[in-house]
Chains A and B, each alone.
Chain A
Amino acid sequence: MLGYIVRRLIALIPILFGISILVFAAARVMPGNFAQVKAGQNATPEQVAELEHQYGLDKPLVEQYFNWLGDAAHLDLGKSLLRNRPVTDEIVSRLPVTGQLLIMTMGVSAILGLTIGIVSAMNFGRPLDSLLRGVSILGMSVPTFWVATLVILLPSIYFSYAPPFSHVGFFQNPWDNLRQYGPPSLVLGFASGCGLARIVRGSILGVVGQDFMRTARAKGLRESVVIRRHALGNVMLPIITILGMEAVGLLGGTVIVEQVFNLNGLGRLLIESALSRDYPAIQAMALVVGVAVMLLFLLIDIAYACLDPRVRLTGGTNA
C-alpha cells in the first residue's frame, strides 16, 4: 500500500512540472505584462522599464521561470497588484470560507445524489423513476446563478428576510453561520446532486442485470437487501471517482455562489483578480487550483487502492 502511494507521488512530479510550465507560459502570453498594467496607461517607457526591472521581467525567460518556481516552492506566490500584499496571505485568509462551503455542498450533493439515484434505479421504468429523472434534468438545466439570485431575492421581497451580511465563523455563532452558508450550499449541492443522481442510477442499473444479482434474488433475498448488499458494493468504486470529479467541478461552482451570496472566499478573489487583471494573483491561483486538483485525483486513486486490491497490484489507473 505504501509502495503504491509512493509510486503515485513520483508519477505526480512530471505533471506538476507541466502545470507550472503551462501556467507560467500562459501568464507570459497575456497582452501587456505586470509592469505595464501596474504602471498604467499613461506611463512613460522608462517607468515601465523601471518596474520591469523591479519585478525581474527583464531577465531571460528560463531564469524567470525557475525564480518563480523556486519562490512557489517556498509558498511565496508573489504579490497581488490590486491589494499590494502577498497572494499567499490572501489565499490562506480566504481558505476557511471556501473550505466550509465546499464541505457542506459536497454533503448536500452526496446525500441528494445517492438518494435520488438509488430510489430512481429501484423503481426503474415506473412513474417515480420518470419523475425523479425529470427533476434531475431540470435541476441540471437551471443555472445556479439564477437560482441563487432568486433564493436571495424572493425571501427579501416577501418576508424582508436577509442572511447575515458580514462573515460569521461557525464557532462564533453556529446559527448565524449556518444561515449564511446553508442557502449557497443547498443551491450548489442540489445542482451537482442532480448530476450525481443520474450517474448513480446508471451505475446501479448496469449492475442490476448481472448474474450474481439474479442469484441473490433467486435465494429469496428481499429487494432492499439485494440492492444494499450486492448492488451498492459494486457501484461504490465508480461513485467515489464521480464524487471526486464533482469536488473538482464544485471548485468552479463556488465561484458563482460566493459572488451571489457575498461570501469572501477564493472564488471572489479569483473574480476580483480577473476583473482587474491582477496577473500575479491569477497566476498564483491557477497554480494552486492545478495542484489542488492533482492532489484530489491522488486521493481518489488511493481510496480506490484501499477498496480494491486489484488496483494495488496492477498499478492502478491514470492520474
Chain B
Amino acid sequence: MRSAEMTLEMAGEIRPHHIGLITHVRRRLMGVTGAAILGFLILTAVVGPFVVPYDPQSIEFSAFQKPGLEHPFGTDKLGRDVFTRVIYGARISLGIGIAATLMASIGGTLLGVVSAYFGGWVDYLIQRLVEVVMSFPALILLIILSAALGPSIRNVILILGIAAIPIMSRLVRSIVLSEKQQPYIEAARSLGASNRRILFMHVLPSTLPLVGILASLSLGFMILAEAALSFLGLGVPVPNPSWGADMSGNARDYFQQAPWLAIFPGLAISLTILGANLVGEAVRDIIDPFAQSWGRAGR
C-alpha cells in the first residue's frame, strides 16, 4: 500500500502531502475549536467559582425560577442557582477526569512495563487478567465496581482509573516489547547496566509520548463516564454540583415543570465532550496523516 503511494508520488501525479488549503484549515480549525472549548472549561473550573456571586449549595432563593437576569439558568427545587452549580460542576467534572486519567496512565504504564519486560508466566497471567477485564462493556464494569466500593468522589476516580488501566497497559506493553529489541538496549546491557536502570532510564521514557496521547484521548471518555455514573446515582453523590447527578434521581420529577434543570447541565456535558473529541480527532490526524492521504491518492 505504501509502495503504491510512493510510486504515485514519484510519478509526480499526485502529491499526498500537498493537501488542499480548505482541508488544512478545517483540520486546524477542528483542533483549535476543541482546544478553545477545553481551555474555556479549564478557565471556568479554575476561576469560575471566584466570580459567580452565589454558593452552589445555598437554598436562599425561591424554587423553580425561570432563567432570567438574576439567575441565567434558573433555580432548582431547593432554590439553588443552576448557573452556579453548572460552573462548579466544571470543577468536579474536570477534576475527576484528570485525576482518573493520571491514575490510569501511571497504573497502566507500570503494569504494561512489568508485563512486557519480565515476560514469561508474569506476562501470561497479567495478559489473561487484562483480557477478562477488557471483555466487559465499560459502563457495566463501572457499575459493578461502583456497587462494590460505594458512591463517593474519591471512589469515582478510583473506579474510572481502574477500569482504564487494562487498555493503557496493553499499549505500553506493545511499545516496550518492540523497544526491547532495539540495539541501544542491547548496548546498555553489554555495558553492564542493571535491569532496573534499563527499565527506568531507557524503556520507560520511550513509552511516555504515546501514553500522553492516549491519556489526552481518554479524558473525554472519563468525563462522559463520570456523568453517566452520576446520572445513574452510582457516581458523585447528590449534594455535590455534578452535571450528571443534577439530572438524576428525583430531580427528574420536576423536569416537566422546569425544563431548564435538564437542559443546562446536559449542554455543559455535551460541550465538554465535544471539545475533547475535537482535540482527539486533531491528534489522530497528526499521528496518522496517512489515513487521510490514502483516499486522496485514489481520486
Chain A residues within CB distance 8 Å of chain B: 14-15, 18-19, 22, 26, 29-31, 121, 124-125, 130, 137-138, 140-143, 145-146, 149-150, 153-154, 156-157, 202, 205-206, 208-211, 213-214, 248-253, 255-256, 259, 270-271, 273-275, 277, 282, 286, 289-290, 293-294, 297, 319
Contact = CB atoms under 8 A, between A and B. Distances in A.
Given A137-B278, A270-B140, 12 more contacts: A125-B20, A125-B299, A141-B220, A141-B270, A143-B224, A145-B227, A149-B252, A150-B266, A153-B262, A248-B135, A259-B232, A290-B135
Nearest to A278: B147
A293 B137 contact: yes
B4 A273 contact: no
Contact of A125 (B227, B278, B295): B295
Contacts of B278: 137
22 contacts: A18-B129, A22-B133, A121-B295, A140-B273, A140-B277, A141-B277, A142-B273, A143-B224, A143-B270, A145-B244, A146-B266, A153-B262, A156-B256, A206-B294, A208-B298, A248-B135, A248-B137, A256-B228, A259-B232, A275-B234, A277-B147, A293-B135
B273 A29 contact: no
A30 B148 contact: yes
Nearest to A122: B295
B232 A252 contact: no
Contacts of B274: 137-138, 141-142
A124 to B, nearest CB: 4
Contacts, number: 160
Contacts of B1: 206, 209-210
B123 interface: no
Interface string B246-270: 0100001001100100110010011
Contact of B232 (A15, A19, A156, A255): A255
Contacts of B146: 274
Contacts of B259: 153-154, 157
Interface residues of B, number: 57
A213 B5 CA distance: 13
A156 B281 CA distance: 36
A297 B256 contact: no
A205 B129 CA distance: 35
B187 interface: no
B144 A252 contact: no
B231 to A, nearest CB: 5
A258 B269 CA distance: 21
B144 A286 contact: yes
- The 8 A-B residue pairs with the shortest CB-CB distance, nearest first, are A252-B139, A146-B266, A274-B147, A252-B137, A209-B294, A208-B298, A205-B295, A141-B274
A267 B58 CA distance: 35
